[in-house]
């Protein structure tokens, strides 16, 4: 894998952006596509927030956003920041004073919504403080909280891009060049079009996400279509999946999207068949067993768990290692070649033995 693009031959070249870094973490087309998360705790609850951020980092979150609705939340950042291992972004709405307080408290970056920070002077005050501390700003437009009232759905994406870029221009007037920009809507295709418009009209790194996506599976589907479509076109430098679910699941889904496109990988990739009437072993249990057993493996390798000899090893021929089920038994295969026949009860452990062996060879 290249650091900036991916190894899939059908990915379009990454859109070139300016580069910036947040507390040493690089963003833009010279850097890997980043995975962000958001803490869902009250930011004033420092211990709970630190613990949640640590959990997010453990599943691959590289930048965490915290909600900062009050001055107290802003001040809590001073206590949170020294205790976490990834950079932090303060999410501020309505009040420049709170944004200034968050910067004062040591926030590594600020997200502002042009729809909720409406006064030019307010934006320039924050820009001035951000410039002084060399803190990047994400300009995040949200279809639900725009200044412009757009009544024709077809006009919404370009209006979102307009509103974002006007705000960016204001920040640049205030001396801030380190800007990440985003435009999110709860409609997936509106989000895609708004990001395409942004990509065509600026060289800021783009943050991708679909907003208000709903419960787990619906959110995964909408985020995958929206973020996935854009990334496949080479658009997007950092992502946040938003779900009504525990925050670590958002990070997991973001990684699944990157992995599906061959852009970045983290840990083993599981190839498994849906099972059908041909499958004579209990595949879902086997998949679950293998998935849990692999949870601590950070090495990337492809592991196949296939229900029958029709699909595996054929469909899983690019897997490093795998099993194909038979009747009460299965075959272990490696690099597309059958290794040995194993009783069903020992399939998982024999597969894991091979996985560990590969990891040891590579280590």
Q: Which one of 161-169, 200-208, 240-248, 347-355 is the stretch in contact with its own copies (CB under 8 A)? A: 240-248
Q: Is 327 in the site for its own copies (CB under 8 A)?
A: no
Q: Is 219 in the site for its own copies (CB under 8 A)?
A: yes
Interface residue with its own copies among 11, 25, 46, 78 (CB under 8 A) is 11
* Cα-based distances in Å from 236 to 13, 16, 64, 99, 112: 11, 10, 18, 26, 19
Q: Is 328 exposed, middle or buried (0-12, 13-18, 19+ CB in 10 A)?
A: exposed
SS (H, E, C) 189-235: HHHHHHHHHHHHHCCCCEEECCCCCCEHHHHHHHHHHHHHHHHHCCC
Size of the site for its own copies (CB under 8 A): 94
Interface residue with its own copies among 168, 273, 351, 358 (CB under 8 A) is 273
Q: Is 95 in the site for its own copies (CB under 8 A)?
A: no
Contact indicator for 1, 264 with CB cutoff of 8 Å: yes
Closest to its own copies by CB, 203 vs 249, is: 249
Distance separating alpha carbons of residues 112 and 93, to the nearest angstrom: 7
Which residues in 120-139 contact its own copies (CB under 8 A)?
A: none
Q: Is 39 in the site for its own copies (CB under 8 A)?
A: yes
Closest to its own copies by CB, 203 vs 344, is: 344
Q: Is 43 in the site for its own copies (CB under 8 A)?
A: yes
Closest to its own copies by CB, 134 vs 317, is: 317
Going edge to edge, which strands form the sheet with 269-272?
A: 269-272, 302-306, 321-325, 329-334, 337-343
Q: Is 271 in the site for its own copies (CB under 8 A)?
A: yes
Q: Is 232 in the site for its own copies (CB under 8 A)?
A: yes
Shortest distance (Å) from residue 124 CB to its own copies: 23
Helix and strand counts by DSSP (H, E) for the chain: 10, 15
Which residue is it, tokens 């972004």? 89
Q: Is 142 in the site for its own copies (CB under 8 A)?
A: yes
Q: Is 220 in the site for its own copies (CB under 8 A)?
A: yes
**Of 138, 234, 116, 118, the residue nearest 183 (C-alpha):** 138
Closest to its own copies by CB, 317 vs 349, is: 317
Q: What pairs with residue 302 in β-bridges?
A: 269
Q: Which one of 97-105, 185-193, 326-334, 348-356 is the stretch in contact with its own copies (CB under 8 A)? A: 185-193
């Amino acid at each position: 894998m290249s650091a900036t693009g991916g190894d899939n031959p059908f990915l379009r070249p990454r859109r070139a952006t300016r580069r910036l870094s947040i507390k040493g973490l690089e963003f833009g087309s010279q850097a890997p596509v980043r995975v962000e998360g958001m803490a869902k705790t009250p930011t004033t609850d420092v211990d709970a927030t630190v613990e949640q951020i640590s959990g997010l980092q453990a599943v691959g979150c590289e930048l965490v956003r915290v909600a900062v609705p009050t001055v107290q939340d802003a001040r809590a950042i001073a206590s949170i920041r020294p205790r976490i291992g990834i950079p932090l972004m303060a999410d501020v709405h309505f009040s420049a004073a709170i944004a200034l307080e968050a910067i004062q408290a040591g926030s590594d970056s600020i997200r502002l919504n042009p729809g909720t920070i409406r006064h030019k002077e307010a934006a320039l005050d924050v820009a001035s403080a951000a410039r002084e501390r060399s803190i990047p700003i994400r300009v995040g437009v949200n279809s639900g909280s725009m200044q412009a009232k757009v009544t024709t759905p077809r006009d919404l994406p370009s209006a979102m891009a307009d509103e974002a870029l006007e705000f960016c221009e204001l920040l640049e007037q205030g001396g801030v060049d380190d800007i990440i920009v985003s435009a999110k809507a709860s409609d997936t295709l509106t989000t895609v079009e708004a990001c395409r418009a942004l990509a065509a009209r600026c060289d800021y790194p783009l943050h991708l996400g679909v907003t208000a996506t709903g419960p787990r599976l619906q959110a995964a589907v909408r985020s995958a279509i929206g973020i996935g479509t854009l990334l496949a076109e080479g658009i997007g430098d950092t992502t946040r999946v938003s779900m009504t679910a525990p925050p670590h699941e958002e990070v997991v889904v973001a990684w699944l999207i990157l992995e599906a496109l061959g852009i970045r990988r983290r840990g083993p990739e599981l190839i498994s068949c849906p099972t059908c009437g041909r499958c004579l072993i209990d595949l879902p249990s086997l998949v679950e067993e293998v998935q849990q057993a692999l949870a601590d493996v950070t090495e990337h390798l492809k592991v196949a768990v296939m229900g029958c000899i029709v699909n595996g090893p054929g469909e899983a021929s690019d897997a490093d290692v795998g099993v194909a089920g038979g009747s009460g038994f299965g075959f272990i295969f490696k690099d597309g070649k059958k290794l040995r026949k194993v009783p069903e009860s020992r399939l998982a452990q024999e597969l894991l033995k091979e996985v560990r062996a590969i990891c040891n060879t590579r280590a």
